[in-house]
Structure 1
Amino acid sequence: MEKKRLSKALAAAGIASRRACEELIFAGRVQVNGETIKLPQHHVNWSSDRISVDGQSVKSEQKKFYYVLNKPIGFICTSARPGKKPIVLDLFPNTERLFTVGRLDKETTGLLLVTNDGHFANKVIHPSSNIIKEYIVKTLQEITPEHLETLSQGARVDEKWVRPVSVHKVRKGTFKICVQEGKKHEVRIISERAGLKIVELTRVRIGSLVLGTLPVGQFRPMTEKDKELIFTR
């Protein structure tokens, strides 16, 4: 069996996306043959190396699961529970090692992908995929042309100026915004710069996959058609 980078091997085993696996490695939570390894590029061989995460043995292959979730408010996108706070994975009854594909913050609701396929997750979140995400934003103020102009200019997020793909008014206090960068709190920061106070933020589309009528807090298996839609513009 050929050797693989440790981060790639963990992603293939369904531990997390490749980026998240790198974070696990840097944090010293991954062991190879009993030794803590902090280099994602360390090469391993499933046939001869014993790999574990947080002391739990990792299997090289497992059945892959893919879900579409309508995330409710108050749930955190993490695999490591911060105290007693609810996490997205609490909504899933099975015991498979699942993780979210990217993140929605605690106060944001809507379309979220959940899987145990690290390669799939990495493909979705990687900038080269150029996947557009659409959000519906409800605010306290009436949306004016001036607001739309400022929103379209974007904002500085993580020391980089980012601009939305498009911004459109939906009704008096609601607008929809499409972004491609996927920076943390990007929509909230852009809205704040425009002087808008968000009262409700919902992601309704990833690529061409739409949330539809899936009830809040419910999930469904992802179909092959869904996967195609994610990468379709």
Structure 2
Amino acid sequence: MEKIRLSKLMSEQGLCSRREADDFIAKGWVKVDGEIVSELGTKVLPTQKITLEKAAQAKQQGRVTILLNKPVGYVSGQAEEGHKPAILLLDAATRWEQDTAPHRFHRSQLLGLAPAGRLDIDSTGLLVLTQDGRIAKQLIGEDSPIEKEYLVRVQGKLVGNGLNLLNHGLSLDGKKLKPAKVSWQNEDQLRFILNEGKKRQIRRMCEMVGLKVTALKRVRIGKVRLGDLPQGQWRYLRADETF
């Protein structure tokens, strides 16, 4: 059995992100088979037992995850081409008044807060921003099984077997898309449930079957729903919620 880097194994086991793993190792907060390992680059066997010290667990518990109902006109991540990033919407005034989480908002919560998945500038709905590497990996990891659900308003005429193709049979950028669940909600709105998130995927899929997207809203990620959260407002992910 081949040894692998401890930080990589910690990330694969969902203990934390690789960056966090290096930080925890350097601080002496990681044990392998009960022994503290503090040297970066250490390799271990996949069968060895990894545990985090209480200090590392406390640091993780202090990290926040924020759910934002993103409006049109904001980009998910870094500012680009003069467009504002969604993080600028986060302050005490825009917190949803019905948020029941016990956290008090302070600016330090914006440090290291990053979007876990994209929502393009023309789209609205649920955007997750997190300080927690475990949640980021869960949502945007290569093999993430977590579903994302969208309501999509369209114009145009669907080609003959277009609905079947949307469900399975299209390729983007030379790669076959994973099976999706796509169904009509009403005469001009589709519901998409996807297990992947290629750039502008839904818009490009629709164009391939004769439809033009006029509005796109993400309403669910895994078990977490957008619900009644008003556009432009946000709330904390509660301790009893998981994706």
Structure 1 length-normalised TM: 0.69
Which of the numbers 165, 187, 211 marks the counterpart of 2:180? 165
Query: What's 1:85 paired with?
Result: 83
Query: What's 1:221 paired with?
Result: 236
Query: What's 2:215 paired with?
Result: 200
Structure 1: 5+ residue stretches without partners? 22-40, 50-59
Alignment of 1:136 with 2:117, yes or no, is: no
Range 98-107 or range 161-170, more displaced: 161-170
- How far residue 143 of structure 1 moved from its aligned partner, in angstroms, is 5.7
SS at match of 1:220: strand
Query: What's 2:26 paired with?
Result: 45
Indicate how the Cα distance of structure 1 residues 103 and 143 shifts in structure 2: closer, same or farther if over 3 A, else same.
Answer: same
- How far residue 81 of structure 1 moved from its aligned partner, in angstroms, is 2.5
Structure 2 length-normalised TM: 0.66
Q: AA paired with 2:200?
A: H
Q: AA paired with 1:147?
A: G
Which of the numbers 206, 227, 238 marks the counterpart of 1:191? 206
Aligned alpha-carbon RMSD (Å): 3.4
Query: What's 1:74 paired with?
Result: 73
Indicate how the Cα distance of structure 1 residues 83 and 194 shifts in structure 2: closer, same or farther if over 3 A, else same.
Answer: closer
Indicate how the Cα distance of structure 1 residues 88 and 148 shifts in structure 2: closer, same or farther if over 3 A, else same.
Answer: same
Query: What's 1:65 paired with?
Result: 64
Name the CA distance, whole Å, in 2 between partners of 1:143 and 1:151: 10
Name the CA distance, whole Å, in 1 between partners of 2:214 and 2:164: 20
- How far residue 146 of structure 1 moved from its aligned partner, in angstroms, is 3.7
Indicate how the Cα distance of structure 1 residues 68 and 133 shifts in structure 2: closer, same or farther if over 3 A, else same.
Answer: same
- How far residue 148 of structure 1 moved from its aligned partner, in angstroms, is 1.5
Query: What's 2:53 paired with?
Result: none
Name the CA distance, whole Å, in 2 between partners of 1:127 and 1:73: 27
Deviations for 1:88-110, whole angstroms, at most 9, x for unmatched residues? 11011224331111111111111
Name the CA distance, whole Å, in 2 between partners of 1:66 and 1:75: 19
Indicate how the Cα distance of structure 1 residues 85 and 226 shifts in structure 2: closer, same or farther if over 3 A, else same.
Answer: same
- How far residue 5 of structure 1 moved from its aligned partner, in angstroms, is 4.0
The answer as to whether partners of 2:156 and 2:210 remain within 8 angstroms in 1 is no
Indicate how the Cα distance of structure 1 residues 201 and 154 shifts in structure 2: closer, same or farther if over 3 A, else same.
Answer: farther
Deviations for 1:43-102, whole angstroms, at most 9, x for unmatched residues? 9724699xxxxxxxxxx8573011111111111111x33353210110112243311111
Q: AA paired with 2:127?
A: L
Structure 2: 5+ residue stretches without partners? 29-37, 40-55, 92-106
Q: AA paired with 1:89?
A: I
Q: AA paired with 1:132?
A: E
